């Protein structure tokens, strides 16, 4: 950065110093008048021996501030530039008389900011040994020039970023020099790695087809003659042999006398837009095929216009060929009525009257038609009313589909559901009756077994006692199984009332029921505050009982069971994860233990009826407890799942809605 012509040179100021001396008052005033910071640096003690008043005008420092620094020059230098300045100062020790040296750095302003300076120095005095004793410096403020330079660079960078983002480039053709200037975006568009690899004046020639070259040239000539802008879309081949579709637009600029001055142009890469346009055309063709294949169509009608606009699919629904009948048909209410029976006409008319007074946004209607080929179809239409800013209806838009086959499936499904319900009811009744009737012979086995043990224990001998013990154990297992089957059967009945219950109270009731086994196993049960939900109280008690009993039963050998029960409201993210209703509120209740755990691969199997992971000799039970828990969760429109690691306990999570 060079000094302005109005600024004094370092040699001129050196001459003034040498001819006037430090004591000349007029000299100091003159030096203060110069538009630069002038200072003398003592090379021996590395201090300032003189500085003019411009240090106050430019940097805001008073002489008292500099004196407080003990005239340390480095206090003026921005810390980030300190090492640079030290290296530059060393160079003045090697200067010959009459030589100058300059450098640029930033100096601190008293207000806390910094300014850019270009500093030029020369040797002012030498000591007796001929070494540099004092150096005279002239520092010119170049902050404004630096700022303008940086702003220009920033604007160019911004323009370059925009061209890159929007995939365009700009060019200017100068009529006087007959040369073309290209922006960086043009080089990117044409896929050149370096600007010097392309001759701007010839870039069209190398990338356009001959026919497009001639057409574009003709458009430019016509634009110049008619004093209009021109635009043209054409394909080109880039430097990397890639094919692109571009759109160019040019504006003609004239001199004051009306002669051509220059042409400004912008070229935009529309390859992607063209591809999208072609894809949309293909999509439209595909949609027509889909409408025909899937049996649906779309339509719209403005409120003040009796004519409907049909898609091709609507013609096919009513038995017409759009290629033949589209130009012949008037799609209005009369055409619809021609395809309706009298009762269907009445149904459609009632629907129209309902819509006329309704404030709803969308509607749907199911109706039957007779097609052009006398085929009966059941159609379903979904319609939406678009309105203006004053809520005035503007038009109907809708879609209609053929649900004839779906209605047939629906009727068949209803028939099968009724048959399945009847079969399930019979099975439930059978299970209940079978379980109930099995209790009578089981009671006899138990009763006579107990009498046999009481009266003939001595006569049975050791082997007979073993048989009798096994028989009694089998009868007890059978009794538990029958009770669980009866309980499972009762859960299938839907007539049990729901009511809002505090789950903390239900849990305490269950803990009281399990008090004996809890004391025997030294089990610890803790819980946080549970919510109040709409539930079947007896079923939730059964749920807690089964989960806590399981946690105690499957405890680790020699370790007291620790059971923790927590609850938390389900988040929106978890609702999506578990496929729950977004509108309803749900709570997650987790029962965690420190027991033996199980392999995660069995997490679903343990909820199946009669499924056991251990033999009856290891752990008693019927294998129905967790199945009952699953049924209870389902009865409440909830779900249950388990997570575990062998030897590290298990967690059973039940998700229940706040309201039925």
Average pLDDT over residues 218-232: 88
Least confident of 69-73, 457-461, 630-634, 639-643: 457-461
Dist CA 497 CA 484 (whole Å): 21
The burial class, CB within 10 Å (0-12 / 13-18 / 19+), for 59 is: buried
HSE (side-chain half, CA atoms, 13 Å) at 581: 12
Average pLDDT over residues 352-360: 75
Give percent above pLDDT 90 in the chain: 18
Q: Tell me how far the alpha carbon of residue 430 is from its chain's centroid.
A: 54
Q: DSSP letters of 551-595?
A: HHHTPPTTS--EEEEEEEEPPHHHHHHTT--SSS-EEEEEEE--S
Residue 555 has pLDDT above 70, yes or no: yes
Q: Tokens 């339509």, residue? A: 299
Beta strands of 59-142 (E only): which ranges? 100-108, 114-126, 132-141
Which among 539, 483, 484 has a CA at the least distance from the CA of 506?
539
Q: Tokens 């629904």, residue? A: 317
Q: 3-class SS at 412?
A: helix
Q: Provide the 8-state DSSP code for 167.
A: T
Q: DSSP letters of 434-483?
A: HHHHHHHHHHHHHHHHHHHHHHSHHHHHHHHHHHHHHHHHHHHHHHHHHH
Is pTM beyond 0.85? Reply is no
Q: Comparing 363 with 123, which gets the higher pLDDT?
A: 123
pLDDT for 428 equals 65
Reported as a single tens digit per residue, the pLDDT across 97-141 is 888 999 999 899 988 888 899 999 999 888 888 888 889 999 998
Residue 11 has pLDDT above 70, yes or no: yes
pLDDT for 3 equals 42
Reported as a single tens digit per residue, the pLDDT across 263-317 is 888 888 888 888 777 777 776 677 777 777 778 888 898 888 889 999 888 998 9
Answer for the pair 562, 624: CB distance below 8 angstroms, yes or no: no
Reported as a single tens digit per residue, the pLDDT across 157-193 is 666 666 666 677 888 888 888 888 888 888 888 888 7
pLDDT for 154 equals 60
Which among 275, 273, 255, 271 has a CA at the least distance from the CA of 263?
255
Q: Comparing 609 with 308, which gets the higher pLDDT?
A: 308
Which among 490, 506, 366, 394 has a CA at the least distance from the CA of 436?
490
Confidence band of 502 (pLDDT split at 50, 70, 90): very high
Q: Comparing 31 with 382, which gets the higher pLDDT?
A: 382
Q: Comparing 95 with 488, which gets the higher pLDDT?
A: 95
Tokens of 570: 């389900």
Confidence band of 4 (pLDDT split at 50, 70, 90): very low
Confidence band of 10 (pLDDT split at 50, 70, 90): confident
Residue 201 has pLDDT above 70, yes or no: no
pLDDT for 318 equals 92
Tokens of 491: 């859960």
Residue 494 has pLDDT above 60, yes or no: no
Which residues partner with 399 through β-bridges? 298, 382
Answer for the pair 296, 401: CB distance below 8 angstroms, yes or no: yes
Residue 616 has pLDDT above 70, yes or no: no
pLDDT for 470 equals 80
Confidence band of 359 (pLDDT split at 50, 70, 90): confident
Answer for the pair 472, 449: CB distance below 8 angstroms, yes or no: yes
């Amino acid at each position: 950065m060079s000094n302005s012509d109005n600024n004094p040179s370092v040699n001129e100021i050196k001459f003034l110093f040498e001819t006037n001396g430090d004591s000349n008052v007029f000299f100091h005033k003159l030096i203060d008048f110069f538009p630069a910071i002038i200072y003398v640096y003592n090379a021996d003690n590395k201090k300032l021996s003189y500085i003019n008043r411009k240090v106050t005008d430019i940097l805001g420092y008073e002489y008292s501030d500099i004196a407080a620094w003990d005239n340390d020059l480095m206090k003026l230098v921005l810390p980030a530039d300190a090492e640079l300045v030290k290296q530059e100062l060393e160079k003045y020790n090697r200067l010959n008389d009459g030589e100058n040296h300059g450098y640029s750095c930033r100096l601190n302003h008293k207000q806390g900011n910094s300014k850019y300076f270009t500093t030029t120095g020369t040797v002012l005095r030498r000591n007796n040994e001929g070494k540099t004793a004092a150096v005279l410096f002239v520092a010119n403020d170049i902050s404004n020039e630096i700022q303008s330079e940086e702003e220009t660079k920033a604007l160019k960078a911004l323009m370059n970023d925009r061209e890159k983002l929007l995939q365009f480039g700009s060019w200017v053709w100068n009529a006087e020099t007959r040369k073309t200037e290209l922006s960086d975006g043009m080089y990117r568009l044409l896929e050149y790695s370096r600007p010097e690899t392309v001759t701007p004046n010839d870039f069209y020639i190398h990338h356009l087809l001959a026919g497009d070259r001639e057409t574009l040239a003709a458009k430019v000539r016509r634009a110049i003659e008619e004093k209009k802008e021109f635009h043209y879309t054409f394909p080109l081949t880039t430097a990397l042999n890639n094919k692109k579709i571009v759109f160019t637009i040019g504006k003609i600029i004239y001199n004051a006398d009306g002669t051509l001055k220059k042409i400004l142009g912008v070229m935009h890469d529309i390859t992607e837009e063209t591809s999208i346009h072609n894809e949309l055309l293909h999509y439209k063709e595909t949609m027509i095929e889909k409408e025909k294949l899937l049996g649906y169509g779309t339509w719209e009608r403005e409120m003040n216009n009796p004519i409907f606009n049909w898609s091709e699919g609507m013609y096919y629904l009513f038995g017409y060929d759009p290629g033949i009948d589209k130009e012949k048909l008037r799609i209005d209410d009369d055409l619809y009525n021609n395809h309706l029976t009298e009762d269907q006409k009445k149904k459609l008319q009632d629907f129209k009257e309902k819509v006329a007074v309704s404030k709803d946004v969308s509607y749907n209607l199911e109706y039957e038609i007779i097609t052009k080929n006398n085929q009966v179809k059941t159609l379903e239409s979904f319609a939406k009313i678009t309105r203006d800013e004053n809520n005035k209806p503007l038009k109907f838009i809708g879609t209609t589909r053929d649900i004839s086959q779906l209605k047939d499936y629906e009727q068949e499904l209803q028939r099968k559901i009724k048959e399945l319900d009847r079969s399930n009811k019979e099975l439930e009744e059978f299970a209940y009756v079978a379980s109930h009737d099995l209790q009578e012979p089981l009671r006899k086995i138990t009763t006579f077994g107990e009498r046999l043990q009481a009266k003939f224990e001595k006569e049975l001998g050791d082997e007979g006692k073993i048989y009798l013990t096994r028989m009694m154990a089998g009868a007890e297992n059978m009794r538990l199984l029958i009770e669980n089957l009866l309980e499972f059967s009762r859960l299938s009945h839907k007539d049990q009332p729901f009511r809002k219950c505090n789950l903390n109270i239900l849990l305490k009731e269950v803990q009281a029921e399990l008090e004996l086994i809890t004391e025997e196993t030294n089990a610890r049960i803790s819980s946080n505050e549970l919510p109040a939900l709409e539930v079947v109280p007896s079923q939730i008690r059964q749920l807690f009982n089964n989960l806590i009993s399981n946690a105690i039963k499957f405890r680790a050998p020699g370790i007291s069971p620790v059971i923790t029960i927590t609850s938390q409201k389900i988040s929106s993210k978890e609702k999506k994860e578990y496929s729950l209703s977004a509108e309803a509120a749900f709570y997650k209740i987790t029962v965690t233990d420190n027991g033996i755990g199980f392999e995660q691969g069995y997490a679903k199997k343990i909820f199946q009826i009669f499924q056991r992971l251990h033999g009856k000799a290891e752990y008693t039970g019927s294998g129905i407890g967790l199945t009952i828990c699953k049924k209870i969760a389902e009865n409440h429109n909830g779900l249950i799942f388990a997570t575990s690691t062998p030897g590290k306990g298990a967690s059973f999570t039940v998700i229940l809605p706040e309201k039925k």
